[in-house]
Structure 1
Amino acid sequence: MHLVVFGDRGIGKTSLLHVLAILAKDARYLVRYASCSESSTFDSLFRAVARDVPLLYHAGYDPSSLEVERDRSLGDILGEDPVTPASLSEELVKLTGTKLLIILDEFDRSPEQGFRDKVAELIKSLSDRSARVQLVIGGVALNLSELVAHVPSIRRNVLGIAVAGMAPDELGQIIAKGETIGNFSFENATRDLLIEMSNGSPYLANLLGQYSARTALENDRRVISSQDLRVAVELVLDDMHSRLSPTAQAQLNCLEAKIKPTSLFAAGRFAQKNFGLLPEDMVKEIIATLGADSRQWQGTDGQFLFCDDSIPQILALKYWPDTGMAPSDVTTAAQD
């Protein structure tokens, strides 16, 4: 059985995969972790994985053979032709004396459908031949079908685990651990606000918590106040802005110029927990307000598409009514 871990960005999938890798190593698995990218190809990625698998575990080589004594790897016997699911599985089924766990993170970043098709073919081949190899795939997706829908026959060989956003008490545990390790504490109201602003994201909770703590410690204080959190929000926003592409920045500028702050805040908060997607009423409001400008950001289904995953986070943080940074109409609307 192979595993697919899916969910929204920033909710802890990669951390979960690292924990899984540690547990697998403790169980004497041979673990190989690879992060997919826009330039990933099946050949390059799995050659890199194969180079980390010693020939010691290959049934075709005696432990006392020259190749094993010279620390040769599975990558050394794959040949010069491009690696295919068939050629790779032919060697992987010969592994003995160990179990191999291959973790493919950021699977959604692989741009070529051909890459995903080949990974699916590999999963099917390994499953059909009962190989001592398991794949764990992690990626951003609404559901399991988004990652493996193209080869329905492998669904019976794949277990899907949806990773949801964290509950407030779980985020509170993250903050509490930070307080213990760093020997500092948050004011109760500040802690509650940080948790609410994180909107279920452990990534945001960690980031805001670290910047808040750093601000307080730089001023020789061990108790973190709401002012420290305000500074943290500004630092996080600066960091997010600096990472936006020109295209994403242009979209953000257009939204801020034409959409009222209360709507920006609401859209950001909703999209944060819904894979960047918006409900129909928000989409209609944004498209009607932007007019012709919205056409370049509409999907084939009419959905409004953010150019960068950070934009909803920027909108939710920048126009948050309780930070003291938001325009007055946001604060007034929140109070109403």
Structure 2
Amino acid sequence: MDRPTAFGDRGGSQPRDLLHARLLLRDVFTPAQPVTERGRFAGRLGVLARLIEIIEEQRSHVVIYGERGIGKTSLVHILSDIARDSRYMVVYASCGAQSRFDDIFRAILSEIPQLYLRSVSPTDVEAEGGATLADRLPAETFDARELGNLCAQITGTRVIIVLDEYDRIQNPEFRQSVAELIKNLSDRAARVQLILTGVASNLQELIGYIPSIRRNVVGLPMPRLTDDEVRAMIRIGENAAGVRFEEQAIQLVALLSNGSPYLARLLSHHSAMRGLDDGRMTVTVPDIRGALDKIVEEAEGQVAPRTIANLAQVSGEGQAIGLAAAARAGSTPDGWFKVKEVMAHLGPNRNAQTVADDLRALSGVDGLLQVDLDGTEPRFSFRDEALPVYLMMLNARNQMKEDAARAEPAPAAVKG
């Protein structure tokens, strides 16, 4: 069967090596999708090793937490690949706001053959007929105790159940049932372990304060990428597609991504494609500027039009710079930040009280910031969660354009 032509393919308008590089880069720098191949997983080797240790040595359940787009889903995909090679059975489920405990786990158990039940022989009808553990569940609803009793009968393998995007679960009964399941599985030394992932600042934010399961769960924070890990990510793309990023371009990707794998891949993807569009296999600083134009355009489409309109109300260079610094400070799991965290992204000459006043003024502009005055010092967050990325990339693009303009030589005077 012929491969359909991808949108954006240049056909015969570019040399074959450029077209080949373009196709490969689409698979390597995938900002909208998690990494699923071990050879394309950059950095985080320490986190991955710790996760394997928790599963293999401690036999604990794991909660992986961190900010959005930080690579949690990629990590569990790579862990799943390694675990399957080690004869684990891995079942993945993505949670949603309306997910139900019995629906999620009925689907999970439908992927586990009854062959692994202690009471089932390989020659039994259930084993030969392809029956699954889901067939042993009650026809209607079931609770964590019934589920735990069934999972405790598993033998001949170890099972890892991944509940991704666990933070999206809104039903407190679902969360309570998962906590009871974790305790039941741990108390019975079942050969089943849960990995929960979600957006959170700490373990308690994701699973709540439940003392009875604290000794059965290990929290694993997902840190931002280091500059060396961003560099390793780019090297993977270079080796796969044959392109080369200039050193200054690599440094800019590391700086602008702020440790976010999503932004690092997005910047690398657009800048590399821009170089290929220009007939080059080398990615330069101007390509990063071109990538920022594309990213700003895409990000603006994700921000509510009303919010974009309200940005026009921001008056003065100080407020604009403060807003850009606030965007970097707001790159946290819960999105909240304080004045001192904004100050860390500003120059030493900025006055903290002035910054605080600017942030309070911005909280009065509908659609930009909201303020929480309940604590000992005010906290702020962006009302539109898409706004921080847009502001960071917009500020970076404008700054790079100003720097480029200053670097251009002045036009020679015309002699009269």
Q: TM-score by structure 2 length?
A: 0.72
Match of 1:128 among 187, 194, 200: 187
Tell me whether 49-58 or 15-24 shows the greater mean CA deviation: 15-24
- Paired residue type of 1:305: S
Structure 1 residue 294: Cα displacement: 7.1
Hey, what does 1:305 align to over in structure 2?
Answer: 381
Structure 1 residue 256: Cα displacement: 4.8
Q: Is the 8 A contact 1:29 1:99 kept in 2?
A: yes
Structure 1 residue 216: Cα displacement: 1.0
The answer to whether 1:208 aligns with 2:267 is: yes
- Structure 2: 5+ residue runs without aligned partners? 1-59, 341-354, 406-416
Match of 1:257 among 310, 313, 334: 313
Partners of 1:296 and 1:324 lie apart in 2 by: 27
Q: Is the 8 A contact 2:369 2:383 kept in 1?
A: no
- Paired residue type of 1:312: P
Question: What does the per-residue CA deviation read over 1:51-85, in whole Å, with 9 as the maximum and x for residues that have no partner?
Answer: 10111111232221212211011112212221321
Hey, what does 2:128 align to over in structure 1?
Answer: 69
Match of 1:59 among 94, 110, 118: 118
Match of 1:322 among 399, 413, 416: 399
Match of 2:327 among 268, 273, 296: 268
- Alpha-carbon distance change, 114 to 253 in structure 1, aligned in 2, over 3 angstroms: farther
Question: What does the per-residue CA deviation read over 1:84-142, in whole Å, with 9 as the maximum and x for residues that have no partner?
Answer: 21121111111111111001111111122222111111101111111110001111111
Hey, what does 1:176 align to over in structure 2?
Answer: 235
- Alpha-carbon distance change, 136 to 194 in structure 1, aligned in 2, over 3 angstroms: same
- Paired residue type of 1:5: I
Question: What does the per-residue CA deviation read over 1:253-280, in whole Å, with 9 as the maximum and x for residues that have no partner?
Answer: 4245326321121111111256422213
Structure 1 residue 289: Cα displacement: 3.7
Q: Is the 8 A contact 1:276 1:312 kept in 2?
A: no
Partner SS, residue 104 of structure 1: strand
Hey, what does 1:286 align to over in structure 2?
Answer: 359
- Alpha-carbon distance change, 223 to 135 in structure 1, aligned in 2, over 3 angstroms: same
Question: What does the per-residue CA deviation read over 1:288-333, in whole Å, with 9 as the maximum and x for residues that have no partner?
Answer: 344273799345745333244332111111112533179x9xxxxx
- Alpha-carbon distance change, 325 to 314 in structure 1, aligned in 2, over 3 angstroms: farther
Partner SS, residue 38 of structure 1: coil
Hey, what does 2:156 align to over in structure 1?
Answer: 97
Question: What does the per-residue CA deviation read over 1:194-220, in whole Å, with 9 as the maximum and x for residues that have no partner?
Answer: 110000111111111011111111221
Q: Is the 8 A contact 1:50 1:74 kept in 2?
A: yes
Q: Is the 8 A contact 2:363 2:369 kept in 1?
A: no
Partner SS, residue 305 of structure 1: strand
Hey, what does 1:232 align to over in structure 2?
Answer: 291
Partners of 1:161 and 1:170 lie apart in 2 by: 19
- Paired residue type of 1:128: D
Aligned residues: 324
- Paired residue type of 2:385: D
- Paired residue type of 2:147: L
Partner SS, residue 101 of structure 1: strand
Q: Is the 8 A contact 1:2 1:158 kept in 2?
A: yes
Hey, what does 2:99 align to over in structure 1?
Answer: 40
Hey, what does 2:411 align to over in structure 1?
Answer: none
Partners of 1:191 and 1:69 lie apart in 2 by: 55
Structure 1 residue 238: Cα displacement: 2.7
Hey, what does 1:333 align to over in structure 2?
Answer: none
Bigger radius of gyration among the two: 2
Q: Is the 8 A contact 1:319 1:325 kept in 2?
A: no
Hey, what does 1:332 align to over in structure 2?
Answer: none
- Structure 1: 5+ residue runs without aligned partners? 329-336
Hey, what does 1:80 align to over in structure 2?
Answer: 139
Partners of 1:45 and 1:83 lie apart in 2 by: 12
Partner SS, residue 37 of structure 1: coil
Match of 1:139 among 198, 201, 207: 198
Hey, what does 1:17 align to over in structure 2?
Answer: 76
Question: What does the per-residue CA deviation read over 1:204-254, in whole Å, with 9 as the maximum and x for residues that have no partner?
Answer: 11111011111111221111122221221222233333334x4xx434542
Partners of 2:132 and 2:171 lie apart in 1 by: 28
The answer to whether 1:156 aligns with 2:212 is: no
Q: TM-score by structure 1 length?
A: 0.89
Q: Is the 8 A contact 1:38 1:109 kept in 2?
A: yes
- Paired residue type of 1:265: A
Hey, what does 1:218 align to over in structure 2?
Answer: 277
Structure 1 residue 284: Cα displacement: 5.2
CA RMSD in angstroms, aligned pairs only: 2.3
